[in-house]
Structures are given as C-alpha cells and as structure tokens.
Structure 1
Amino acid sequence: MNKRLLTAAFIAAFVPLTACSAGSPSDARPASPSPDAVKKAFAARFPNRPVQSVSATPLPGIYEVVLPGRQIMYTDAKVNYLFLDANLIDVQKRESLTEARMEALSRVDWKSLPLADAVKEVRGNGARKLVVFSDPDCPFCKKLERETIARLDNVTVYTFLYPIAQLHPDAERKSRQIWCSADRAAAWTGLMRDGRPLSGRDDCATPLARLQKLGDSLGVNGTPALVFASGRLVAGAQPLEQVERWLAEKAAD
C-alpha cells in the first residue's frame, strides 16, 4: 500500500472518532515568530541544508519547511524538533495538507518546458498535450508506451530522453542514437513499442545534458514521469483511464 492510500485509510479510520469532539478553547497566545525568523533559526542549526521556504501551518507554533527536491518537513519555532516524513492532516476537512502542498510544489509551468528538445509524436489531431520523461531501457517506460500512450488519440506527446545511467548503463547511448535518427519519433516508438533495435550514429549534438538539469530542477528522480498541460507532474506508468482524466484537466494559464 502506498503512502497516499495509507493517508486515506488513516483519515477514514481516525476521523469518525474525533468528528464530534469539541474544539480546544482559543486561549490567548503570545505572538509567534515570523517565518523569516524560523528560517534563520533553521539555517543556523543546519547551515548545509538550503531552505526554499518557511511558512506557518494551521497548527500553532509549528512551521512548514521546504527543502530542495520538494522535501517538506515541520519544525517548532526554535527548531528544537523536526517532524520528518510527516503528514499534516486537517481532521475536519478529512484531507492531508502535506499532500496538497506537495502537489502544489510539483506544479510545472508548461510554457517554460523546452519542447524543441523533445521527441515529438502527433496522434490524431494532436490537440491534447503531454510531456514524458523517459529512459529507453526502463521497463516501466515501455509499459507506459505500449499500454497507455499507444492507445491515446488526439494528443501530441513530447518525450524528453532521460537516461538513468546508474540503472541502465547503455541508455545514454540509445538516447543519443534516437536523437541522431532522421525520424526520431519512428526510432523511439519502434524501440519502445515494437522492440525494434536501434541503428545509426550516436555522435550528434543532443539536449541530454539540458534535459538532465531540467529534470533535476523539477524533482524528477525516476522514469517515466508525466507532465500534463495543467501543470500536473506524475510519476510512474499510469493506466490509460487515469491519463485520459488528467489530459482533460484545464491547461495552466
């Protein structure tokens, strides 16, 4: 069971026990430190951990700290205690504030994506848009291509070649071969959907280094990773029905 399902199960099981509880009396409290003060205190204790943002939570005296890589933790005002891998839940609304923040932090500015650096495939009228970070030797990427992307219609798919050398030592060479092909889309789909081996040169100029930096900046640490026109970023070989729903979301302004 994944973390999201565990959170949902916790809310479903625990909230009924507390739904009828009376709220705590709103006693007067001393003014809380500003998020900037908490940020300075965090930097003093952890000088090697750059902080992207600090903000107050609905829980008095507890602050959200966002670190690079979209890592969220919580701390008290003096940074004497840390909550790692925590899930802050709004009991009355029955929702995870942490998951909502993670989704917001993961939103991608579609207009900022370097689509010219992608392998482009147009299916049908191409009206819907999808970006995929993909590794040519990743079995889950092949599953996504064969079971989901190949069955989509009226979509333009932009594939960012994203070889993960630690897992697939030959993936970078194959990525270069695909980019150097006269028909990149045919080379990509032939390999990923039909299992056709690659051939040809692998020594042309490629965008692979730029795409690695892009993925790092977006927090992409595995493949496949999908970016929708709405700005939603999702990891994993998602099923067709779910991808169709996300493709229907309103595009980001």
Structure 2
Amino acid sequence: MTIPIKWLPIVLAAALQPAMAGRAEDALLASLRKAHPATRFDRVAPTPVPGLYEVWMGDNVAYVSGGHVRYLVFGHLFDTRRMRDVTASRRAGGMARQASPETVAGASDGAVDMPAIALEDAITLVRGTGARRLLVFTDPACAYCRQLDATLRRLRDVTVLHYLLPFQGRQLPEAIWCAQDRDAAYARAMADGAMPADPASPCATPLERNLALAARLGVQATPTLVFADGRRVAGALDSDDIEAGLARAAGGTDKADSLARSAHGTHRQ
C-alpha cells in the first residue's frame, strides 16, 4: 500500500513517538544522576500525568516534573476518578519486577514467620477455604483503610488478619476491640467510620502489641499489607494487585505477573 505524501509526517511522528519518549526518560535519568551524584537513581518511568515522571531509587519512588531535577516530590499519586492509589499499585504490580520488593525486616529469607505472629491480637476475616493468608495493618479511622476493606471482603479463599493501629487516635479501635460483637463492630466501622452502636466496657486491648509488631516489621503506614512471602506494600491496592501478591506468595510468579499488568500506601497519618 502506498502512503500519500501528505500523511507521511503523521505516520513518521507516530512511529518515532515511543523512541522519543524513551530518550526523554533516559535523558532525565542522566540529568538526575549528574545533579545528585550521591544518590542511586535506578530508572525513570512516565506517569498518567503528562510531564510528570516516577523516579525510582531502589524501593523508594519520587516524582519529578520534566527537566526540573532540583526538586523531587515524595508521596503518593492518587487517581481520584478511579479511587486508586497509583503509587501503591506501581509498587505491587508489574513494575515490581524491576524494583526490589520490600520484605519484612529481620526475616533472613524474606518470609513472615506466621506461627510467630500473635493471631489472637488480630480481627480475622475468613473467605471461602481461607487457604491463603494475608496480614493487614489498618486503622479504622483511615479512609484508605476503609476503601481497602471493601476490596478484601470480595476476595476468595483467603484469611485476612487485621491488626488495629491507633495512628489516628485510640478511641475507635479500642471501642471496636471491646465491643460485644467485635467482628460486626469492625465491619460497620470500616463501612462508614461509625463507632459501635452499643457502648462497651473498657477492656484490655492489643494495640500496644500491634504497634510493637508493626515496628518490628517496619510498618509505618496504614493500610499496609504483608504477604506470606514477606512482601510488604502500603496503600489501598485493588483486587488484581492483591491477587498478584497472593499468587507470588504461593509461588505462582507467572500468574502474579499476568494479574499485575494493570500497574498504574498511604503513610502514617
């Protein structure tokens, strides 16, 4: 087929666009390394925001606008239309094959020693067979935690251990733990942030032990998910990214990679 001459500039531009984008990212990476020689920059990747790039430094990610390499922004990029934590998904999804995954501190093989975890200090949700296990550090006053909870309740064949952290105050987590029906109180709080309907008498809570456990595992954000293979991801992940993490933990790396192709935490508040 002969392409009319008038269309050649458009065709050539479309063909060159990926290569030009790649060169722009390589140039930005080189500029960052030159401007900050003491910092190890691994790679630069585009974001859904035109002109905004991810800058990966090992497990850490920052954002830079175009060629302005003097200023780096650290935090989470959030898609308000899809209610999706873009940064958390990048960490957990397909980009994780290039970035080193976070593993639990103190575990020589990167795996969580599940028998050593105090199960009685968690609010446990069992779905289906409960065969797969997932730890979630959560704060019922955290909006992202409530968003994640709705996703967790749609998973299949999983046991979710919720460890309450009082990052935004002790009143609500204490009231949930001391409620007559703890599971129902937790479910209601995660649905609408409400206090338990029936006031409970004060009781002993595991909040201090949960804080100590979080510190031991290096958890500083809610929500944070810890998979059985030791991978730790902060943020309200979507179901595909959670399934990818569960599959990796079970040894199904290929399946996990295919589930996470949609890769596009919230820190302690």
Normalized against structure 2, the TM-score is what?
0.54
> Do structure 1's residue 87 and structure 2's residue 41 form an aligned pair?
yes
Shift of 1:104: 4.4
Q: Return structure 1 stretches of 4+ with deviation > 6 angstroms.
A: 9-12
> Do structure 1's residue 193 and structure 2's residue 210 form an aligned pair?
no
What CA distance in whole angstroms lies between the structure 1 residues aligned with 2:170 and 2:132? 29
> Do structure 1's residue 123 and structure 2's residue 115 form an aligned pair?
no
Shift of 1:223: 0.4
Structure 1 match to 2:26: 14
1:102-121 equivalence runs, <5 A: 103-104=102-103, 107-111=110-114, 112-121=116-125
String of CA shifts for 1:41-100, please: whole Å, max 9, x gaps: xxxxxxxxxxxxxxxxxxxxxxxxxxxxxxxxxxxxxxxxx935x3356xxxxxx78335
Amino acid at match of 2:175: Q
String of CA shifts for 1:98-122, please: whole Å, max 9, x gaps: 3355624654524232222100111
Amino acid at match of 2:170: E
What CA distance in whole angstroms lies between the structure 1 residues aligned with 2:119 and 2:201? 21
1:165-180 equivalence runs, <5 A: 168=168, 171-180=169-178
What CA distance in whole angstroms lies between the structure 1 residues aligned with 2:42 and 2:202? 50
String of CA shifts for 1:129-165, please: whole Å, max 9, x gaps: 111100011000011112x11211211111000111x
**8 A Cα contact 1:128 1:247, kept in partner:** yes
Normalized against structure 1, the TM-score is what?
0.57
Relative to structure 1, the CA distance from residue 238 to residue 11 in structure 2 (aligned partners, 3 Å threshold; closer, same or farther) is farther
**8 A Cα contact 2:132 2:157, kept in partner:** yes
Q: Which one has more relative contact order, counting CA pairs under 8 Å at least 6 apart?
A: 2
Structure 2 match to 1:155: 158
Shift of 1:173: 1.4
RMSD, matched Cα:
3.1
1:226 aligned counterpart, secondary structure: strand
What CA distance in whole angstroms lies between the structure 2 residues aligned with 1:175 and 1:10? 48
**8 A Cα contact 1:110 1:230, kept in partner:** no
Matched-pair identity in %: 40
Shift of 1:174: 1.2
Structure 2 match to 1:35: none
Residue ranges of structure 1 left out of the alignment (5+ in a row): 1-8, 19-81, 90-95
**8 A Cα contact 2:224 2:235, kept in partner:** yes
Structure 2 match to 1:143: 147
Correspondence for 1:184 among 154, 158, 182? 182
String of CA shifts for 1:162-219, please: whole Å, max 9, x gaps: 111xxx3xx3111111111233222111210255531322521111001111112222
1:248 aligned counterpart, secondary structure: helix
**8 A Cα contact 1:176 1:202, kept in partner:** no
**8 A Cα contact 1:177 1:200, kept in partner:** yes
What CA distance in whole angstroms lies between the structure 2 residues aligned with 1:11 and 1:110? 44
Structure 1 match to 2:136: 132
For these two proteins, the number of residue pairs brought into alignment is 168
Structure 1 match to 2:221: 222
Relative to structure 1, the CA distance from residue 105 to residue 228 in structure 2 (aligned partners, 3 Å threshold; closer, same or farther) is closer
What CA distance in whole angstroms lies between the structure 1 residues aligned with 2:172 and 2:179? 11
